[in-house]
A and B are shown apart, each in its own frame.
Chain A
Amino acid sequence: MAKPVFILDPRETDSPVELDRPAPLASLEGARLALLDNRKPGAGTLLAALGEILVRDCGVAETSASQKESAGREVASELVAQIASWATAAVTGIGDCAACTASSFRDATALERAGVRTVLLITEPFVGIRDRIAQMAGLPGYPAVVLRHPISILTPQALAGEAERVAGEVAMGLVAMSAPEVA
């Protein structure tokens, strides 16, 4: 009788490093909100509009905008430290392609590892890659607020309108454990 053949799985599967997400804020009243722009088209405009709405409606005390080097790169650790030294909450995005969604996911989790409760912004077609990246990172179900797609073609007025549409979800993501994902 022929013997069985023993072959090797070509993967090395490590145990993902768990992330204990920072606790949600009790409220946004008096919060210092960091807006981390990944440099995708419209991201800065939409984040600025979101900041203004959260100041207006939720009592956020201050916002501070910053940009990372490139949408396709993870945020620099120095910028994470700088944000974490000041902010009590953060919003980052926009993930509207695969690499920038994956990078923005890493940015959000980097900020959360530094203790800053963060909401990730992505567009609808990239929910799947967020799911996959989150699964592989040991964070299945990691939330995101889902924007309409394509976002890059929107006028500043339309971006402001989109910010108004999702501002409530963003606030919920910062003060509750998860936000609903509605494109």
Chain B
Amino acid sequence: MTTLELSPELDPTEAYLERGWGDGLPIVPPTVEVVDAYLAELDWDPQETLGAIPPSWDAATRRAVVVNAVMAGCRVEEIPLVAAAIEACQNPDFNLFTVQTTTSPVAPLLLYNGSYARALGMNAGAGAMGPGDRVSATVGRAVRFVLSNVGAAAPGKGDRATIGLPAKFSWCTREHEEASPWEPFHVAAGFGPDDDAVTVLGGHGMITVCDPGDVPPEQVMAALAGACIGVGTNLFFRPGGQVMLLLAPEHAQIIATEGWTRSDVQTAYFEQARQSVGQLRRSGYHPMRDWPEEYDALPDSATIPVVADPADVLVAIVGGPGRYSHVVPTHGASGRSSTIRVTL
């Protein structure tokens, strides 16, 4: 890793922006002194690598993670969350290579579970995915910095997204476990209730869903299902993708008071989020991409699910009061979510 010597009159932010490092906003200068102090406090081996970041395939060393986290404004205690997300992106099923280089607008959505992120103050309540929370803002930004700086995935260069996504600045939140009627997301994924975990999902932004008022769970689910049946979404190209429902606590409570479990929500969504074969044909999407042969024989009146299995509907509880949930479509079959334990 190269050390840059700057004369005291030169603004470090300008030095970084001129080199195309960062996200266009001012950064915190990662001085040798600060980076060394953080590495010592974390007791990290600077050379240990967390994996290679495409498309440069350069190593995300622990030192590189700290440098980028400092640039993003992280405090030292937030950096293990950054490292965990980078490690989660290494899961081959996540397909970081495509997430980094595709023309489609994919960004890793970071969802944290457990007491550590909660104790740091990461917002899970009102405006959880908006601005104002230093922890989620800087952790998400730091992950983006590692991906773009180490991976050489600056927009228009390694990152070839046609329009891009504001979520590429930072897309990070925590499950509102305290407001959830169900077990935490990471526990449903097989981790222990005392574990800290991070989930990364290659998301295509979010579609907001409100409901018409006091309605039964079936109608809440119908409203949520409607968000994913647009024929242009990547989800239809080939069964195998995933979709994430970020349920507002009030929506979750409406559903749960009728005795529904998370599994019931997954099944209901799988059954209701279906695309019209006729509409796909009329829109010119049939038989493009990986349209399964068995679909060829279907009549226009048939519908097909947007995911292959109810388990591909991921359900987490996020947000504060109000009835606005979000649906996160993904980039289809070429990538899947990855959940790992956060090592502290």
- Which of A's residues lie within 8 Å of B, judged by CB? 2-14, 16, 39-41, 70-74, 97-99, 102-103, 106, 129, 132-133, 136-137, 152
Contact B35 A11 (CB under 8 A): no
Q: Which residues of B contact A152 (CB under 8 A)?
A: 288
Interchain Cβ contacts within 8 Å, total number: 142
Q: Which residues of B contact A137 (CB under 8 A)?
A: 57
Question: In the complex, A40→B288 CA distance in Å?
Answer: 8
Give the residue name and chain of the B residue nearest to A71 (CB): B334
Q: Which residues of A contact B103 (CB under 8 A)?
A: 97-99
Question: In the complex, A99→B100 CA distance in Å?
Answer: 8
Contact A6 B3 (CB under 8 A): yes
Query: What count of chain B residues pass the 8 Å CB interface test?
Result: 58
Q: Which residues of B contact A2 (CB under 8 A)?
A: 8-9
Question: In the complex, A130→B230 CA distance in Å?
Answer: 32
Q: Which residues of A contact B10 (CB under 8 A)?
A: 5
Contact B102 A5 (CB under 8 A): no
Question: In the complex, A74→B50 CA distance in Å?
Answer: 21
Contact B58 A13 (CB under 8 A): yes
Of B3, B97, B150, the residue contacting A11 (CB under 8 A) is B150
Contact A7 B152 (CB under 8 A): no
Contact A72 B3 (CB under 8 A): no
Q: Which residues of A contact B15 (CB under 8 A)?
A: 7
Of B9, B97, B157, the residue contacting A106 (CB under 8 A) is B97
Contact A102 B97 (CB under 8 A): yes
B1-52 interface with A by 8 A CB criterion: 1-10, 12, 15-16, 21-22, 29-32, 35
Q: A8-B1, A9-B2, A133-B55 are in contact. List 8 more A-B contacts (CB 8 A).
A: A7-B3, A8-B30, A10-B16, A12-B1, A12-B58, A12-B60, A12-B150, A72-B331
Contact B56 A136 (CB under 8 A): yes
Contact A11 B145 (CB under 8 A): no
Contact B6 A70 (CB under 8 A): no
Q: Which residues of B contact A102 (CB under 8 A)?
A: 54-55, 97-98, 101
Minimum C-beta distance from A92 to chain B (A) = 16
Q: A72-B334, A98-B160, A99-B103 are in contact. Are A5 and B98 (CB under 8 A)?
A: no
Question: In the complex, A98→B21 CA distance in Å?
Answer: 21
Can you identify 29 A-B contacts, CB atoms within 8 angstroms?
A: A2-B9, A4-B6, A5-B29, A6-B3, A7-B6, A7-B32, A8-B2, A8-B3, A8-B30, A9-B3, A9-B21, A10-B16, A10-B64, A10-B68, A10-B71, A11-B21, A11-B56, A11-B152, A12-B59, A14-B57, A14-B59, A41-B289, A70-B240, A70-B334, A98-B101, A99-B98, A99-B101, A103-B98, A133-B158
Give the residue name and chain of the B residue nearest to A41 (CB): B288
B333 at the A/B interface (Cβ < 8 Å)? Answer: yes
Contact B145 A10 (CB under 8 A): yes
Question: In the complex, A137→B152 CA distance in Å?
Answer: 12
Question: In the complex, A102→B4 CA distance in Å?
Answer: 31
